[in-house]
A and B are shown apart, each in its own frame.
Chain A
């Protein structure tokens, strides 16, 4: 073969970018221990931890061992970057360094332990992934316990056992009630000194006010409960494992659950429970002279998350952001913007139909079948013209039934006669029906279609909006109508599940993710090709903008369309690295998850047009919600985000938008004072201009 194997070559060619990635990985893993997702904080922690050179050194030995190992097995750098895979080995390294001096022998021990922890991390991660449960520091607890047990035999190590205590880092002047909290904080990184703890607390405070408050609440609630049990406040305060309270409080109250009153209560219950755990395990572990480490934290948090996930706890944080504040913001916004329900359907017809029966409808939507919708067409209060004695008199009869989801047709029936008016078929009560399994796995059933009208076959893939058949009057149906439900299984008549309609029009207003009440007239829509095209942002395309203040151009910027190769999410990025995510689904184009500096032009675009329904009718209106601070332009963000725990509504600003014509959208943000915004869509592609606050942002051609 004459061709050089260049691909292979480059794998072993470590460049500076890769080096930087590894460095980021190391410092990120430090930050990760305190739930901080910011490498800079990690760097600070690393520097602080040099107060105890021995633990830090052994921690670093562990980390570099793992990195070398990962490199050796050609693991992709990106996987390591966020520190997730190496923070357990780091902890293990530090835990060894905490009691053994670094020597050639202990270094060997650290290296073996680190690789083992790394392997265990990956194994547990994949096992836990199925249940979407984090592994926390479970690998560390397990491996450290293992090492401590093993090292009982390694007498050579013990002789060099180390009990140093750098005196200057304890703030002896502080009252014990405070210094113990700080000490607990330091202990998390094997630095049980109040001075170090203080630095950590300052770091946490600057990173997240919510985490800071939870650390305090967790610590003192834990100590309080423990003191009740022990009958001694002092004993409770000086317990070496109180850092578990802090970890539990932060993990449950702010990281893995969205910060809320309910999450915080759960966190405190967890903290209280951990008291028992600490005492029990301490007695038991003490026999073998091994510390409890973070075992209480791991067992309690993992148990809680397992249960909360299985009951679909509403505040379960499926989308964990960099800080609890951001998680909370994104949750509140998603709650108002997307309602968080997971079964979403399009209306199964074209045009305006009326809800005849909704969920819990009094005639037939009862018991197991309570979650269903019936639709008819009404004009002037009647569903038929003339006397209504003939099927043909009914406006709904033989009108197209459109697919409410994209998915596969699993089952259907097409042979049941349409009942004459005034008769119902109680034997084949579902009549002619279709059962479709959506891409997300839900089973959708549509009933009472007209005989021989079904236009799809079993096994066909159908797209949302595609014609399925015609509305009829077969089965238990006194007049032609469309019945739609989501059910537990493919079996006809199985138990129904609640769902919502993604987007529809009611009185010239677009509703997103809602269940229209009975008698309401709703109009369906599916993506309009023109809006779809104009709001198509292809990867790597660029859009240049000039910013005007009055007549004057005060700034220019360029947006590039990019994609995150792991999540597949698209985003706009400006030259400053600010990012704004975009998506087109469920009948709308929308912007979400702004990451970057406040007051950037990209953020202004987000404020001006958070979403656009992919349907045009002149005068059509819709609502959306923005983070209040964007619209308010306030710097009271700390207060806002803490307040949001109890009063989510205060955190968002509502806005209303309207199509003035096919190219111009005008909106009002209901902030104080109200703000007007406007958006021009280009005739062919992209956003032509944005009028927001005192600026006009115009596409440059």
Chain B
């Protein structure tokens, strides 16, 4: 009966300690989990931006025509023509003024109706130079891309995207077919793949319904004026170029060249009828965001780890008091102070290490959930797991030192007499 009670008490005591230990390491668990989650989310966001920039080309600078805001004036009855946007001369001046530019590609967009026999597709006619295909690298699926000769001769040739071709050339026609763009007849010389579309704030320069034609042909066949009218209003616009894509020789020069191009455009344009986009700058932006994010989550992790460390210290101080007699026994047998310190430090590190393991487990779940619910990409690196683990061990050492030192400082005689 007595023995039975003792056994049960011992068992209960053990369970109590299990719970107590678990509660003590909760802070470390959450601290470590948020470190892992923070790094995974940050890494994922950076990875995504990097991938997107890579798809766009990290050495590219995009300049787009934008319509100035002050265009509308109460008068809606008279025919009006607004002239704005990037000029052919802008593109020429750019390649002349910047040695660091390896390519300058002018682009003209027109919404046109494309026809092959009776099949119709609204296309984006892209008037550009052969350089386009070197900046927007997409695999050629059939035929050939635009050539310098096409440009010089203002040839009526067009390159379709895979998606466009699939809808227009369904009758088995291929390269060489006649494609009517608006009122003009072009010959399809090639088909390229397209990465068309946009992901987040980065639009790809190509779209699925593109029909690429030489810039010279676009000018000659369609001109620079576009009319858009209905009823009594008749608006027309004169836009020479809709986009200029510039390629810089090295990533390091991108930002300086972008600033130079901005300056060049500013002196040449009275209105702000253009916009300069630098994909590489998004990386800086992403890094900035990541830094902010890291500060926020890092503080949460820091507070959790602090609380966790204090929790562990508390439990270890209680443990030292409970085990005073044990410490006295070990000292009497011949354990040195250092050995006592080592013993208690090892226990604390084991405890916080356990918190670290649970935290890593939890931390590895969080990024998965984040990805599932917010579509935010996440990436757990081995380095972050090692870091989180190191942090938890560090917490064990830092917060275990004081209890261990207390244990080692006990006078063996007094410790032996303790009950």
- A and B assemble together: no
Chain B interface (Cβ < 8 Å from any Cβ of A):
none
